[in-house]
Structure 1
Amino acid sequence: MLNRRQFGLSVAGTAAALGVGPMVGRAIAADKLKVGFVYVGPVSDHGYSYQHDLGRKHVAEHFGDRVETTYVENVAEGPDTERVINQLAAGGCGLIFTTSFGFMNPTLKVAQRFPKVKFEHATGYKRAANVATYSGRFYEGRTVCGLIAGKLTKSNIIGYIGSFPIPEVVSGINAFTLALRSVNPQAQVRVVWVNSWYDPGKEAAAAKALIDQGADILSQHTDSPAPIQEAEARGIYAFGQSSDMSRFGPKAHLTSIVDDWTPYYIQRVQAVLDGTWKSEDYWGGLATGTVILPPFNPSIPEDVRALATKAVEDIKSGALHPFTGPIKDQSGKVVVAEGKTATDPEILSMAYYVEGVQGTLPK
Structure 2
Amino acid sequence: MSIQTAADEYNLALKQGQKEYRELVMEGRSPYPAVLDDILPENNTDSVVDVGLVEIPSDRIIGTKSAGRITAFTASFRPLLDNKSEFAAKWISLCDAHLGETGITDPILCYEYLGNFYVQEGNKRVSVLRYFGAPRIPGTVKRIVPPLTDDPRIQAYYEFMDFYKASHLYCVQFRHPGDYARLLAHLGKKSGEIWEESERRTFNAYFHYFRDAFCALQVPPEEVLPEEALLLWLDLYPFQDLGRLSTAELKKSVAALREDMVANTKKQEAVKVQTKAEDTSKASILEWFISASPDHLNVAFVHQMNPGSSTWVLGHEEGKEHLKRVFGDRVSLRSYFDAANSELAEPIIEQAVADGAQVVFVTAPPLSRATLKIAVKYPKVRFLNCSVDQAYSSIRTYYGRIYEAKFITGAIAGAMAQNNRIGYIASYPIFGVPASINAFALGAQMTNPRAQIELRWSCVQGMPQADLLADGIRVVSNRDAPTQAKMYLDFCNYGTYLMNDRGDLIPLGTPVWVWGKFYEFVIRSIFAGGWKRDKGESTALNYWLGMDSGVIGIRLSEKLPEGVHQFAEILKKGLCGGTLDPFRRRITAQDGTLRSDGTRGFTPEELLHMDWLCDNIVGSIPTFDQILPISQQMVRELGIYRDKIPAEKEGKPREDFDRIR
Q: Which band: TM-score by shorter chain?
A: 0.7 to 0.9
In the other structure, the counterpart of 2:476 is 218
Equivalent of 2:521 in 241, 264, 267: 267
In the other structure, the counterpart of 1:183 is 447
Q: How far does residue 226 in structure 1 lie from its aligned partner after superposition?
A: 8.8
In the other structure, the counterpart of 1:9 is none
Distance 2:442 2:323 in 1: 37
In the other structure, the counterpart of 1:122 is 386
**RMSD across aligned positions (CA):** 3.3
In the other structure, the counterpart of 1:174 is 438
Distance 2:344 2:433 in 1: 24
Distance 2:306 2:318 in 1: 12
2:569 pairs with 1:306 = no
Q: How far does residue 237 in structure 1 lie from its aligned partner after superposition?
A: 5.1
In the other structure, the counterpart of 1:4 is none
Query: Number of aligned pairs?
Result: 314
In the other structure, the counterpart of 1:285 is 546
Deviation by residue 1:328-352 (Cα, 9 ceiling, x = unmatched): 2211112223312111110011112
Higher relative contact order (CA 8 A, sep 6+): 1
Match of 1:219, as an amino acid? S
Distance 1:156 1:76 in 2: 42
Distance 1:113 1:53 in 2: 26
Larger Rg: 1 or 2? 2
What is the TM-score normalised by the length of structure 1? Answer: 0.75
Match of 1:266, as an amino acid? E
2:601 pairs with 1:341 = yes
Distance 2:511 2:388 in 1: 19
Q: How far does residue 110 in structure 1 lie from its aligned partner after superposition?
A: 2.4
Match of 1:300, as an amino acid? L
2:551 pairs with 1:297 = no
Identical positions, percent: 28
Deviation by residue 1:257-307 (Cα, 9 ceiling, x = unmatched): 11222233123224445553346443322222221122x223322221222
Contact 1:325 1:339 in 2 (8 A): yes
Contact 1:45 1:223 in 2 (8 A): no
Instruction: Sort the Cα spacing of 1:105 and 1:322 in 2 relative to 1 into closer, same or farther, 3 A.
Output: farther
2:579 pairs with 1:319 = yes
What is the TM-score normalised by the length of structure 2? Answer: 0.43
SS of 1:185's partner is coil
SS of 2:549's partner is coil
Match of 1:70, as an amino acid? R
2:412 pairs with 1:148 = yes
Distance 1:74 1:226 in 2: 24
Matching of residues 234-253 of structure 1 within 5 Å = 236=498, 252-253=506-507
Distance 1:270 1:231 in 2: 35
Distance 1:213 1:80 in 2: 43
SS of 1:252's partner is strand
2:536 pairs with 1:276 = no
Instruction: Sort the Cα spacing of 1:45 and 1:314 in 2 relative to 1 into closer, same or farther, 3 A.
Output: farther
In the other structure, the counterpart of 1:241 is none
In the other structure, the counterpart of 2:217 is none
Q: How far does residue 31 in structure 1 lie from its aligned partner after superposition?
A: 8.3
Distance 1:51 1:227 in 2: 14
Contact 1:189 1:356 in 2 (8 A): yes
Equivalent of 2:331 in 55, 58, 67: 67
Bigger drift between 171-180 and 142-151 goes to 171-180
Q: How far does residue 167 in structure 1 lie from its aligned partner after superposition?
A: 2.1
Give unmatched runs, 5+ long, in structure 2.
Answer: 1-293, 534-540, 624-661
Instruction: Sort the Cα spacing of 1:300 and 1:350 in 2 relative to 1 into closer, same or farther, 3 A.
Output: same
Deviation by residue 1:162-186 (Cα, 9 ceiling, x = unmatched): 2211122221111101111222232
Match of 1:263, as an amino acid? K
Instruction: Sort the Cα spacing of 1:60 and 1:80 in 2 relative to 1 into closer, same or farther, 3 A.
Output: same
Q: How far does residue 71 in structure 1 lie from its aligned partner after superposition?
A: 2.0
2:319 pairs with 1:55 = yes
Contact 2:498 2:508 in 1 (8 A): no
SS of 1:164's partner is coil
2:615 pairs with 1:355 = yes
Instruction: Sort the Cα spacing of 1:145 and 1:137 in 2 relative to 1 into closer, same or farther, 3 A.
Output: same
Distance 1:301 1:212 in 2: 25
Match of 2:409, as an amino acid? C
Contact 2:421 2:473 in 1 (8 A): yes
Match of 1:220, as an amino acid? N
In the other structure, the counterpart of 2:291 is none
Contact 1:98 1:122 in 2 (8 A): yes
Instruction: Sort the Cα spacing of 1:147 and 1:251 in 2 relative to 1 into closer, same or farther, 3 A.
Output: same
SS of 1:71's partner is strand
Match of 1:314, as an amino acid? G
Q: How far does residue 149 in structure 1 lie from its aligned partner after superposition?
A: 0.2
Distance 1:306 1:161 in 2: 26
In the other structure, the counterpart of 2:456 is 192
